[in-house]
A = this chain, B = another copy of it.
Amino acid sequence: MESRHYIRFLFFFVGIATLLAITWNNLPYAPPDATEDFDCTTYSSWCTSKNRFQSKPLKEPAKSTSHHHDHASDTPHHPLDPLTVKEINRVRTILTSHELFKNSFPYAFHSITLQEPKKSLVLNWNKGDSLLPRKASVVARVQNISYVLAVDLTTEEVTVHETDSSSGYPAMTIEDMTSSTWAPLADEEFNRTILERGVDLKDLACLPISLGWYGEKEENRRLIKVQCYSMKDTANFYMRPIEGLTILLDMDTKEVLEITDKGKNIPIPKAVNTDYRYSAQGLHQRMKLINPISLEQPEGPSFVIEDEHLVKWANWEFHLKPDPRAGAIVSQARVRDPDSGEIRNVMYKGFTSELFVPYMDPTDAWYFKTYMDAGEYGFGLQAMPLDPLNDCPRNAHYMDGVFPAADGTPYVRSNMICIFESYAGDIGWRHAESPITGMGIKEVRPKVTLVVRMAASVANYDYIVDWEFQTDGLIRIKVGLSGILMVKGTAYENMNQISNQAENLFGTLLSENVIGVIHDHFITFYLDMDIDGSDNSFVKVNIKRQETSPGESPRRSYLKADRNVAKTEKDAQIKLKLYDPAEFHVINPTKKTRVGNPVGYKVVPGGTAASLLDREDPPQKRGAFTNNQIWVTPYNESEQWAGGLFVYQSKGEDTLAVWSDRDRSIENKDIVLWYTLGFHHIPCQEDFPIMPTVSSSFDLKPVNFFESNPILRIPPNVEKDLPVCKAAASA
């Protein structure tokens, strides 16, 4: 850190006199300095939310249902609780005095998270037991070498594992990202290029773009590409690309290795109509379409959160924590059986393991854009504080994240996750007797769910990830895409300028000089299902046409369900087929219902889009976890990140696809299910300048898990239970 700061510092005062002076005076942000103590009020764009850990209570007022408090005194209560402020500080203290770090400058902590205790120990732990030994798992870069360390917080023992850079690099730190966006300013040619493109340096906004891996040239040093935009007259600089300009940077030294500018003839799109902030809309343009509407619970929410992380709602309970890489992690999801009263295991752990977002433009400034947001940027690191009343309804509870900065000091990401009950007016179950029987029965139950939400803003894009729990035992995992497109500048202002039918825009002309480039989104979920215990089997229930024999029936055909237990991993590499359908069950082969069906859950696909890239294309090798929609692997502590532990500049040697091809046995074993949600996105003008949310989801659904409908006995709504409300103004 400091050395980089020093370089920049030097640069600004020893550089080319006039230009630099001007630059300095017109910078949109102040450059970093060498102060030891970070002060969010004056410093650093990455802690704009002003909530870096401080010993004073946070200023942002807590919502009524929020247990906001001073995280300084947090202590863990559950074996899976994330590291606290005190624990992260302790790890830093232990490591900075460790010989690896003591005299080794520079170094940076890329991640300091709980090293979860062995699954068997967690499963046997009960509330009231003494806490299992706390350990931290640390990823650090020391003098340009990546290490994975384990730190025992009790014994202070440190285990060091040095890794080989050929297998990729750890996720960037926020400091890597922000400093990379500044580094090109140290390059005279860069500054000249920007000015030549008609952009004042004070209007410059640059983004750090992970560059994938495309061969030897891009090995053995940590690289990043930087592309820039004009933020003149708009907060939405993403719509004003300085097209074709790409800076290749050494991320460790911040040296500019290459500047490519193939966009000199491409104008920067205009700012008009790009700003999306309400404050930027003309008063007469604002549109109020809807009267206020609110989810109201006069008796309060139906959930409690014990010890900050244990959520209990209706018939569910689960552990929930923020994670810098995955975003939100749901652990030990368990549901109460209405017959036995027993709380039953469903899922040991579930989270967003990796994303893969390849753009579909093979030209110089675009081909490398094949983001893997969790392993490259940190899906949780990019999850900003949620906006109460808009990101989540009024009845939401908020949970903070505590993450380490690159120097190991903890900071608080407040309101990172919200938990709320939702009622959309939907129906849990119903039956009315029809006029045919005329029995006059009408029984209807409303559907109320519990939603766990986080929203990650990976630069332009916003991903909204919901875990929605239903009382009938179903878990819906939903991803919403919003935010801002990554667009390409073009000389075209109208489609009528394109006479050549073969002309390839690689996307849609969204506005004058703006192309929305076609891209895919894949979001791969790790789902360690534990149906009534860890040893489970994966069963494909294939739906097959059966032809009848002559004379057997007036029917020629019908459908039959064939159960096929997957023996090994390759049996469970699933490409979905509309005309060869199946259900996909995770069952406990040793536990049966009263009438003898194995208890299970099924994954119900939804939001399906397959990756169509060439399997040998470098980005597809790295994103090979999208080669199938479903995979099942035997549980292995080290196989959690579908793109590999170190994804940055990886070659795809440590992906889910590689693990699965080992074809290990998965029958009646502790198994992990992987599901990938996919989206093909051909942008359209409605996505300009900011996209209405597009969502897809898949379900984990009980299938012969319960003896019968688990919500048979819930009551209907009655008028006397509902609230009496007034408009706030009249109240």
Contact = CB atoms under 8 A, between A and B. Distances in A.
A80 interface: no
A578 B390 CA distance: 35
B360 A178 contact: no
A434 to B, nearest CB: 4
A725 B298 contact: yes
B728 A721 contact: yes
Given A431-B276, A689-B709, A291 B295 contact: no
A685 B707 contact: yes
B575 A579 contact: yes
Interface string A326-365: 0000000000001000000000000000000011111100
Given A178-B435, A430-B693, A613 B682 contact: no
A614 B548 CA distance: 10
Interface stretch (A7-15, A257-265, A551-559): A551-559
Interface string A380-400: 011011010111111110000
- Chain A interface: which size bin? 35 or more
A299 B425 CA distance: 19
Chain copies in complex = 2
A338 to B, nearest CB: 6
A208 B437 CA distance: 10
Contact of A578 (B606, B608, B684, B715): B608
Given A278-B443, A384-B434, A557 B617 contact: yes
Contact of A554 (B174, B215, B609): B215
A482 B706 contact: no
A650 to B, nearest CB: 16
A299 B620 CA distance: 53
Given A289-B315, A291-B301, A509-B596, A368 B554 contact: yes
**Which of A277, A291, A422, A441 has the most C-beta atoms of chain B within 10 angstroms of its own C-beta?**
A291
A595 interface: yes
Interface in A242-281: 273, 276-278, 281
Contacts of A76: none
A424 interface: yes
A421 interface: yes
Contacts of A613: 545, 556-559
A595 B436 contact: no
A148 B593 CA distance: 54
Nearest to A213: B554
B725 A444 contact: no
Interface in A665-705: 680, 682, 684-693, 695, 702-705
Contacts of A181: 436-437
A482 B556 contact: no
A44 B716 contact: no
A56 interface: no
B425 A451 contact: yes
A581 interface: yes
B715 A724 contact: no
B472 A686 contact: yes
A713 B285 contact: yes
A46 interface: yes
A47 interface: yes
A432 B445 contact: no
Nearest to A446: B390
Contacts of A504: 560
A214 B509 CA distance: 55
A128 interface: no
A429 B360 CA distance: 24
B430 A458 contact: no
A719 interface: yes
A287 interface: yes
Given A435-B381, A548-B362, A583 B430 contact: no
Contacts of A557: 612-614, 617, 620
A389 B720 CA distance: 11
B716 A278 contact: yes
Contact of A292 (B575, B618, B711, B721): B721
Interface in A282-322: 285-302, 314-315
A509 B618 CA distance: 49
A550 interface: no
A455 B430 contact: yes
Interface in A457-485: 457-460, 462, 464, 470-474, 480, 482-484
Contact of A45 (B45, B424, B438): B438
A588 to B, nearest CB: 14
A295 B596 contact: no
Contacts of A281: 712-713
Contacts of A553: 362-363, 367
Contacts of A390: 427, 430, 444-446, 716-717
Contact of A423 (B424, B506, B702): B424
B391 A560 contact: no
A27 to B, nearest CB: 13
A428 interface: yes
A731 interface: yes
A446 B215 CA distance: 45
B704 A689 contact: no
Contacts of A48: 433, 435, 438-440
12 contacts: A48-B435, A277-B443, A293-B421, A360-B560, A420-B425, A494-B596, A506-B560, A509-B596, A510-B595, A545-B614, A555-B618, A559-B680
Given A294-B297, A495-B592, 16 more contacts: A45-B436, A49-B440, A207-B437, A235-B441, A277-B441, A278-B713, A288-B714, A289-B471, A367-B553, A384-B434, A391-B427, A434-B459, A495-B595, A575-B579, A720-B729, A723-B728
Which 8 pairs between the two chains have the least Cβ-Cβ distance? A45-B438, A495-B596, A362-B553, A424-B424, A724-B731, A390-B444, A298-B727, A289-B314
